[in-house]
Structures are given as C-alpha cells and as structure tokens.
C-alpha cells in the first residue's frame, strides 16, 4: 500500500499529490467525479476550498470533469508552457494546488471549459 503524503493542508494519496503538487494529470475517463450528476459543490481535495458548483458542470467528452465557470475568486490561473504547448493552468485560489487547465471551447454562457482532474477534487452533495 502506498503511503499518504503531506499536502498543503492535509494528507493526500500519492496519486492526489502527483496531480495537486506535482502538476500531474490523471488518465482520462478514470475519475468517478466525471460522471457525478448530483446537485452539490466540488472542493479542492487538499485544502477543501469550494471551487465549482454542480450547475456549471457539463459533459465535454474529454474524460475529465468539466465546468463552464468556477465559484467567484475560488481559482487562479497561470500560463503553462509544458509539453511543448501553451495552455492556461488552473490552480486552487487558496492552496495553489494544480487542478487542470481552462480552454476556450466550452458552452455558453462563458465559452470556457475548465478541464479539471478528478483527483484534485472532492464532492459534497447538497443537503436534501
């Protein structure tokens, strides 16, 4: 069994650490959160910051949970020139953990696709 690793705010699995702290990417179509359809909130798996509301989630076909907008001021962005391309990286606004990337090919009303690693997220269903 792999030992948990210390994240910014808590203990992370080695896979979560590789994504959030090592700027890794999980394999597409491997996250259970990709198919999550309940009403609720997606949080940073490290610090617990609320990042995305379920009403902004959509099926992009990319294999990762995708959202058209984050919660106001919940995430930050920076330029990413890794892998020989220019992308915009998305990170948690509180702990700076790597979440994924944002692309200009999403649905209305923003036209953006926040393509987020499921390992970087936890989900809290809304109270009934």
CATH number at residue 68: 2.170.150.20
**Per-residue confidence in pLDDT tens, the chain, 128 aa:** 466 655 556 678 999 999 999 999 999 999 999 999 999 999 999 999 999 999 999 999 999 999 999 999 999 998 878 778 888 999 999 999 999 999 999 999 999 999 999 999 999 999 86
Domain count within the chain: 1
Q: Which residues of 82-120 are buried (b: 16+ CB within 10 A; e: fewer)?
A: eeeeebebbbbbbbbbbbbbbbeebeeeeebbbbbbbbb
Instruction: Check 44, 92, 95, 115 and give the catalytic one.
Output: 115
Note down the domain range covering 28.
Answer: 5-125
47 is catalytic: no
């Amino acid at each position: 069994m792999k030992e948990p690793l210390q994240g910014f705010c808590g203990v992370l699995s080695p896979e979560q650490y590789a994504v959030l702290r090592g700027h890794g990417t999980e394999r597409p179509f491997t996250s259970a959160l990709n198919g999550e359809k309940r009403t609720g909130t997606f949080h940073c798996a490290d610090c617990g910051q609320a990042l995305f509301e379920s009403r902004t989630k959509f099926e992009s076909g990319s294999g990762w949970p995708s959202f058209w907008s984050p919660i106001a001021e919940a995430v930050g962005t920076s330029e990413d020139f890794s892998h020989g391309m220019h992308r915009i990286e998305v990170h948690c606004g509180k702990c700076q953990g790597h979440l994924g990337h944002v692309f200009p090919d999403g649905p209305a009303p923003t036209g953006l696709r926040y393509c987020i690693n499921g390992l970087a997220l936890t989900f809290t269903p809304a109270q009934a």
